[in-house]
Chain A
Amino acid sequence: MNQHINAPELRQRGRASVDFLVQMLKSSGPIFAEVNSTIAAKLPDPSVLPDDIEERHEAMEELLSGSDAFATQKLLGDWHGRMHGKVAAEAFDEIANDLVPAMEATSKGPATLELDPDIEFPDYYDGVNFHRTSGGWTENANQGFIHGEIIHRKMIGVTFPGGIFQQRQNVAAMAPRDDYANILDMGCSSGHFTFALAKTYPDAQITGIDYAAEMMEHAWRTANANGWNWKLYQRGAEATGFDDASFDLVTSYIVLHEMPEHAIRDMFAEAFRVLEPGGDLLMSDVTRYKDLDKLSVWKADRGAKFGGEPHWRESAQLDFAEIAREAGFVDVKAEGQYPHVVQGRKPA
């Protein structure tokens, strides 16, 4: 099989297994509806739920303890969490040989990837299997391809409301200027939002940073495949090492919920430092808990608790606009539920 670095074709077992995971989600609609129906019948006023989120989990578990639909929802969620990364890795292994020419071809090009063999991961990141992806972002050398092209494109992207890539494109276009010269994408991972930035601001020099070399390798290949001169560095967003005033736009896309408060504050402060005077900030993340009712917070928090999101609860309760102002940004505005987008400007 001739393969391309983006949107690969899977072999039969991998393709059918990925289709199965998608079908599990599609077939779960009636089960979710049944759970919601049970909740509505037993809990006409969700505002009576405990304010404390852990106590709310206990109350909801008790309320749904006799629900076969809820037990099924939990079982399917558990299996998906445990297995989706393994299924995707297995699907990759089946096409690894087919991909060799494409991998070799995209090892050459204008993009650069600078790794740091001495990098030390922070405690909030080290050893965490974010999204319960088996092996986390770093154990599988091809995790960027596996997550970006199989999990994102073929599992999540198939049912994502509005299109998972279109959503990134929409957010990239929200920055106030029509063009930028130097853009920094913090936590660029396998490069899906970086891709949207490159499409939106084709004349900009784009720089990306992330802790995971394995994820960024796919961003590097994608840039090479498109003839883009991205500069990618294995660095954390809390202390990037770039000179002051190096960029005119700093972005991050749905990364903040993977970080605790202290790291988020450091990241905003670092964004302020590396922006030139008058430079723009464009950060986005998941829905704020303050924008949800108690029942919706329970659903989101349960998804985080069992979906490999150890920092979601802490992050989702933060006011990013206030954090941006405290970092020094002006004209700060926050809008939207998902993604929740925060913008600001470094004073000229």
Chain B
Amino acid sequence: MTNTDPKSFNLPDGRILSEAQIDNLGRALVTLMREVVVLNDRVQVMETLLDQQGVVASEAIDTFQPDEAYKAASEAAMSKIVSSVMASLQGADGDPSQ
């Protein structure tokens, strides 16, 4: 017989990452942020090309060069992602306004 609350097994306490590993977690997070940004950019390029040409060709995506309108849209989207993750790093759970 034990006095341990069985419900504590629902969310067991226990440290997962060591102090040294926490820095690497932060680095991995920024690395992931880069990949999300790159992927998001690629989707935007595809959508832009689909709209312009009605067909998607990988070479066309690879060689796409942004015009001023695209640059503005890309920067806005990129800023939203980066700001959101930066806010999370500061404990705001992804809400940049916090």
Instruction: From B31, B33, B41, give the contact of A19 (CB < 8 A).
Output: B41
Within 8 A of A (CB), among B35-69: 37-38, 41-42, 45, 61-66
Within 8 A of B (CB), among A93-124: 94
Are B31 and A79 in contact, CB atoms less than 8 angstroms apart? yes
Are B38 and A16 in contact, CB atoms less than 8 angstroms apart? yes
Q: Is A64 interfacial (CB 8 A cutoff)?
A: no
Are B82 and A24 in contact, CB atoms less than 8 angstroms apart? yes
Are B82 and A16 in contact, CB atoms less than 8 angstroms apart? no
Query: Which of chain A's residues has its CB closest to B26's CB?
Result: A75
Instruction: From B26, B38, B79, B83, give the contact of A17 (CB < 8 A).
Output: B38
Count contacts on B: residues with CB < 8 A to the other chain.
28
Q: In the complex, what distance in Å separates the CA atom of A300 from the CA atom of B79?
A: 27
On whether A12 and B41 interact (CB within 8 A), knowing A76-B30, A79-B30, the answer reads yes
Q: In the complex, what distance in Å separates the CA atom of A16 from the CA atom of B34?
A: 9
Q: In the complex, what distance in Å separates the CA atom of A235 from the CA atom of B67?
A: 43
Closest CB-CB distance, A2 to chain B, in whole Å?
10
Query: Which of chain A's residues has its CB closest to B63's CB?
Result: A1
Task: Mark interface residues in A1-28 (1 if CB within 8 Å of B CB, else 0).
Answer: 1000000010111011101100110111
Within 8 A of B (CB), among A247-297: none
Q: Is A57 interfacial (CB 8 A cutoff)?
A: no
On whether A78 and B27 interact (CB within 8 A), knowing A23-B75, A31-B86, A69-B90, the answer reads yes
Query: Which of chain B's residues has its CB closest to A94's CB?
Result: B62
Are B82 and A27 in contact, CB atoms less than 8 angstroms apart? yes
Q: Is B89 interfacial (CB 8 A cutoff)?
A: yes
Within 8 A of B (CB), among A207-233: none
The interface residues of chain B lying within 8 Å CB-to-CB of A82 are 27
Are B61 and A17 in contact, CB atoms less than 8 angstroms apart? no
Are B90 and A12 in contact, CB atoms less than 8 angstroms apart? no
The interface residues of chain B lying within 8 Å CB-to-CB of A40 are none
Instruction: From A13, A15, A23, A72, give the contact of B79 (CB < 8 A).
Output: A23
Q: Is B14 interfacial (CB 8 A cutoff)?
A: no
Q: In the complex, what distance in Å separates the CA atom of A69 from the CA atom of B41?
A: 27
Instruction: From B31, B45, B74, B79, give the contact of A27 (CB < 8 A).
Output: B79
Q: Is A203 interfacial (CB 8 A cutoff)?
A: no
Q: Is B6 interfacial (CB 8 A cutoff)?
A: no
Q: In the complex, what distance in Å separates the CA atom of A216 from the CA atom of B41?
A: 34
Other A-B contacts than A23-B79, A68-B89, 10 sampled, CB-CB below 8 A, are A9-B63, A9-B65, A12-B38, A12-B42, A19-B74, A19-B78, A20-B37, A20-B82, A27-B86, A72-B90
Residues of A in contact with B (beta carbons under 8 Å apart): 1, 9, 11-13, 15-17, 19-20, 23-24, 26-28, 31, 68-69, 71-72, 75-76, 78-79, 82-83, 87, 94
